[in-house]
Amino acid sequence: MSLAIDVHDLVKRYGKRTVVDHVSLGIEQGRICGFLGPNGSGKTTTLRMICGLLTPDGGGGTCLGHDLVRERDAIKRRAGYMTQRFGLYEDLTIRENLEFVARVYGLDRRKERVEQSLERLGLTTRQNQLAGALSGGWKQRLALAACVLHEPRLLLLDEPTAGVDPKARRAFWDEIHAYAAEGITVLVSTHYMDEAERCHEIAYIAYGELMARGSAADIIRQSGLSAFIARGPGADRLAPRLRDADGVTAAAAFGATLHVCGPDHDALVRAIEPFRHDENLDWKEAEPTLEDVFIHLMGRARDNALDG
């Protein structure tokens, strides 16, 4: 399949600080790629360069077959970008917002497009409600409806489900997979591990550097991490005692259980050895999680805020 996004060595600097450092990314048409990383890692800046809102200071490539630098307007017309914050008019109704967006894009069949968008996103019965009176989940639906009104071939979604309840998040992701099934490519940034696992592939960026790429299973397998789980009375209270131990990169309580991981299996075994003699605790080796991997990668990354 041809690549909807094919960018190489993207660089963006603000003063002395390099916020995106030679990031390369290729995504096939109809695929959903999860874009993960800590706050300030360069995810939003990368998304904005890909959709033509920012000009890279270095690197280049194509998006939907258009040159990233020379054909930015063409990319904007064929891409839909959903920002972190709700960006529509809160004193307009749902329908009025969509009609306004349709006029901004100069779309034909405006009434038909608005009706279709309302129907698909389940907004028809609420179309006369003011956007400012909507809950987070309904605002999210309206923002997505506006994002796809011009029938884009690429969706760039910047933390679209932040602050949205689990039911609304699941409905949103069902819709995203439906768009992908129609051949629309999706690049979505998120902090939720369950959402990352719903993507076809993942790209992890930390402080401007792309550090991991592949499916969730591939990234876990390639991480080289080992993990143990302890169950029993007081297991969760061991987390503070193990967190800074040699060989441990993460020790976290999950309810009454303890999850510990590290990059060196033997060193991890030595770290937990003093606690394995407790007859009340049951220790078992486990598979590391995506969260384990990303915390480990963050520990290896250099904080580019130091450049400022």
Tell me the DSSP string of 281-293.
-EEEEEPPPHHHH
Domain with CATH 3.30.70.920 in the chain: 224-287
Q: Closest Cα to residue 158, out of 86, 82, 88, 209?
A: 82
Residue with tokens 């990352």: 196
- How far apart (Å, rounded) are the C-alpha atoms in residues 43 and 39? 8
Chain centre to alpha carbon of residue 26: 16
Bridge partners (DSSP) of residue 62 are 6, 67
CA pair distance 161, 169, nearest whole angstrom: 6
The CA–CA distances, whole Å, from 51 to 67, 87, 186, 193, 211 equal: 11, 17, 12, 25, 22
Residues 10-40 as b or e (16 or more Cβ within 10 Å = b): bbbbeeeebbbbebebebebbbbbbbbbbee
H or E segment to which residue 163 belongs: none
**pLDDT tens, position by position, for the chain (308 residues)?**
589 999 999 999 999 889 999 999 999 999 999 999 888 889 999 999 999 999 999 999 999 999 999 999 999 999 999 998 888 999 999 999 999 999 998 999 999 999 999 999 999 999 999 999 998 889 999 999 999 999 999 999 999 988 788 888 898 999 999 999 999 999 999 888 889 999 999 999 988 999 999 999 999 999 999 999 999 999 999 999 999 899 999 999 999 999 999 999 999 999 999 999 898 999 999 999 998 998 888 877 666 555 55
Token pair of 261 as six digits: 């991981």
Q: Which CATH number fits domain 3-219: 3.40.50.300, 1.20.1730.10, 3.40.718.10, 3.30.420.40?
A: 3.40.50.300
Using DSSP's 3-state secondary structure scheme, residue 249 falls into coil
Q: How far apart are CA 61 and CA 99, in angstroms?
A: 34
CATH T-level assignment (fold) for domain 224-287: Alpha-Beta Plaits (3.30.70)
Residue 146, burial from CB neighbour count under 10 angstroms (0-12, 13-18, 19+): buried
